[in-house]
């Protein structure tokens, strides 16, 4: 059995973008990836992040906000470190426990203003952007023979 790749999604608070990315990558490629998420200054998972993932049938009941420091020290080594916000990219210039570093900046849905429905729409948009980015990335990994071709791939 081939060893799984590993990924760590990093954000400032580990409350929305990185949590959604963790759930989505796990949903699309759990058989190929061991996936985690963390924050530089972790807080709580935003309830709208939970809600918009649930709308897509993704339950993140076991997920919780985690600190990047919990992954420091070599206990975990990741194939990919993926920062999903500007602040995390700037505040964490080095993370020696990953082979590749990717930068996927997404709008912070937690800072959305307006009515509840307007704020939920921002969370939905960011969720869908993250999902599309992950799907494109997985196709790229397949094309590079890093992942096996999925049965539905052309």
Q: Is 128 an annotated catalytic residue?
A: no
Residues with Cβ within 8 Å of residue 24, at least 6 apart in sequence = 53, 58, 127, 130, 131, 134
Query: Coil, strand, or helix at residue 130?
Result: helix
Q: Which of these is catalytic: 11, 23, 38, 49?
A: 11
11 is catalytic: yes
Annotated catalytic residue: which of 4, 60, 91, 92?
92
Known catalytic membership, residue 141: no
Out of 23, 82, 85, 88, the active site residue is: 85
Per the CB < 8 A criterion, the answer to whether 83 and 89 are in contact is yes
Tokens of 149: 């071709």
**Backbone Cα Rg of the chain:** 15
Strands, E assignment, 41-94: 78-83
- Active-site positions read 11, 85, 92
């Amino acid at each position: 059995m081939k060893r799984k790749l590993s990924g760590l999604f990093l954000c400032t608070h580990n409350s929305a973008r990185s949590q959604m990315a963790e759930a989505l990558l796990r949903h699309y490629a759990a058989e190929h990836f061991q996936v985690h998420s963390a924050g530089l200054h972790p807080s709580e998972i935003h309830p709208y992040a939970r809600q918009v993932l649930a709308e897509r049938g993704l339950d993140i009941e076991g997920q919780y906000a985690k600190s990047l420091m919990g992954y420091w020290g070599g206990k975990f080594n990741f194939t990919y470190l993926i920062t999903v916000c500007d602040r995390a990219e700037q505040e964490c210039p080095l993370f020696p426990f990953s082979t590749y570093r990717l930068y996927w900046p997404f709008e912070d849905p937690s800072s959305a203003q307006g009515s509840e429905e307007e704020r939920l729409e921002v969370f939905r948009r960011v969720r869908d952007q993250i999902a599309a980015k992950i799907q494109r990335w997985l196709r790229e990994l397949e094309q590079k023979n890093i992942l096996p071709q999925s049965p539905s791939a052309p």
